[in-house]
């Protein structure tokens, strides 16, 4: 594929290069570079204060960066291009900001008017269908639960059929059921090919919804597919459990083909470092049976994105000391 002037894809939805934002002495984020392709759900993951919202506000043209450059839906970020960019994107902010006395439909019509959209009725109806709220159209927003309000905010963000949809912590403060509903809606948008930039501090959310994630803590620590990040940070392992602790685990595991090392986190449970879990497991089982052990389980150890994240943020804190 052809590349742009800086080696980037010319048709990327977002291109961010060495972007930095400072508020006086305080740095919100520093020297951040990444690209997001069209149709991609990109997770921007980091603890509170990592700079996520500031990045959304910058790319949404609400704040000017201190240095660096960006292209949003093909348009270079600059003061003069702000209106053009705003017409191609939309942002669902952390708090929905709806008129609580107006009905769902009136809220959406009002915002469609502000965005100077045409075919308001049709767009409102389409957006309501997209978030399964058609039957609540006449309800005042003030009467809706937090989860439903969040869905109205999502409908509002869909009104202009954005090339890039920014979702800033879309499930923060929602109960698990409401959060699951919002996840399902985002999954539906992903399946329809909507480009989504999603900030979150919830790991399972990023893991479930995002094609790729970036882990941010003022600077960008790591970027990749969730499974890639796990592989990059953790060696492969088998978790072995026996009914009673092995009298001589070293005698069983040391020198076993495919096993490069082992640990015993608690008696009767063992972590074996292996290059290929599938290839090593049968030999491990045979060795255990040969040693007279009662095997409870031999499973490939699975690291969650949370393991990746905690490891990285801990390393980052260590590095800053």
Ligand X SMILES: Nc1ncnc2c1ncn2[C@@H]1O[C@H](COP(=O)(O)OP(=O)(O)O)[C@@H](O)[C@H]1O
Pick between residue 47 and residue 113 the one whose CB is nearest to ligand X: 47
Q: Among 3, 6, 10, 49, which residue interacts with ligand X (rule: CB under 6 A)?
A: 49
320 in contact with ligand X (CB under 6 A): no
Question: Site residues (CB under 5 A) for Mg ion?
Answer: 52-53
Q: Among 5, 25, 26, 79, which residue interacts with ligand X (rule: CB under 6 A)?
A: 26
CA atoms within 13 Å, Cβ hemisphere of 245: 8
Question: x/- string (CB under 6 A) for ligand X, residues 53-72?
Answer: xx------------------
Pick between residue 124 and residue 167 the one whose CB is nearest to Mg ion: 167
Q: Among 3, 10, 23, 235, which residue interacts with ligand X (rule: CB under 6 A)?
A: 23
Question: What does 28 bind: Mg ion, ligand X, none (CB cut-off 5 to 8 Å by kind)?
Answer: ligand X
Pick between residue 172 and residue 264 the one whose CB is nearest to ligand X: 172
Dist. CA 116–CA 302, nearest whole Å: 50
- 101 φ, ψ to 5°? -85, -20
Query: Tokens for 274?
Result: 């292996």
- What is the three-class DSSP state of 270? strand
H or E stretch at 249: helix 249-253
Q: Is the distance from CB of 152 to CB of 133 less than 8 angstroms? A: yes
Pick between residue 55 and residue 293 the one whose CB is nearest to Mg ion: 55
Question: What does 54 bind: Mg ion, ligand X, none (CB cut-off 5 to 8 Å by kind)?
Answer: ligand X
Q: Among 14, 35, 41, 52, which residue interacts with ligand X (rule: CB under 6 A)?
A: 52
Question: What does 190 bind: ligand X, Mg ion, none (CB cut-off 5 to 8 Å by kind)?
Answer: none
Q: Is the distance from CB of 211 to CB of 40 less than 8 angstroms? A: yes
Pick between residue 157 and residue 252 the one whose CB is nearest to Mg ion: 157
Dist. CA 41–CA 186, nearest whole Å: 9
Q: Which segments of the chain are extended strands (E)?
A: 14-23, 26-36, 41-45, 67-72, 75-76, 89-92, 164-168, 196-200, 212-217, 219-224, 237-242, 259-266, 269-274, 295-300
Q: Among 16, 35, 43, 46, which residue interacts with ligand X (rule: CB under 6 A)?
A: 46
- Minimum distance from CB of 70 to ligand X (Å)? 16
């Amino acid at each position: 594929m052809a590349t742009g002037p800086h080696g980037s894809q010319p048709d990327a939805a977002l291109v961010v290069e060495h972007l930095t934002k400072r508020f006086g002495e305080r740095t919100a984020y520093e020297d951040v570079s990444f690209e997001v392709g069209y149709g991609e759900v990109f997770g921007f993951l980091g603890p509170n204060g990592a700079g996520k919202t500031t990045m959304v506000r910058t790319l949404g043209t609400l704040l000017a960066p201190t240095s660096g450059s960006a292209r949003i839906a093909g348009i270079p970020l600059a003061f003069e291009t702000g209106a053009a960019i705003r017409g191609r994107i939309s942002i669902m902010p952390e708090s929905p900001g709806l008129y609580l006395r107006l009905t769902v439909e009136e809220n959406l019509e009002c915002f469609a008017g502000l965005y100077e959209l045409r075919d308001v009725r049709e767009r409102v109806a389409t957006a309501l269908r997209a978030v399964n709220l058609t039957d609540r159209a006449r309800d005042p927003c003030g009467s809706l639960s937090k989860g439903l309000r969040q869905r109205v905010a999502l409908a509002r963000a869909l009104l202009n059929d954005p090339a890039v949809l920014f979702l800033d912590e879309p499930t923060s403060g929602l109960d698990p059921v409401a959060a699951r509903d919002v996840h399902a809606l985002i999954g539906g948008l992903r399946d329809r090919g909507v480009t989504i930039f999603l900030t979150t501090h919830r790991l399972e959310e990023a893991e479930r919804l995002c094609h790729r994630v970036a882990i941010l803590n003022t600077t960008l620590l790591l970027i990749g597919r969730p499974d890639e990040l796990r592989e990059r940070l953790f060696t492969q392992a088998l978790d072995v459990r026996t009914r009673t602790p092995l009298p001589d685990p070293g005698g069983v595991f040391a020198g076993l083909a495919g096993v490069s090392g082992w640990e015993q986190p608690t008696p009767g449970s063992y972590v074996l470092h292996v290059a290929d879990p599938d290839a090593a497991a049968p030999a491990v089982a045979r060795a255990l049976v040969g040693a007279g052990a009662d095997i409870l389980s031999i499973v490939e150890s699975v690291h969650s994105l949370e393991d990746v994240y905690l490891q990285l943020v801990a390393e980052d804190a260590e590095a800053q000391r």
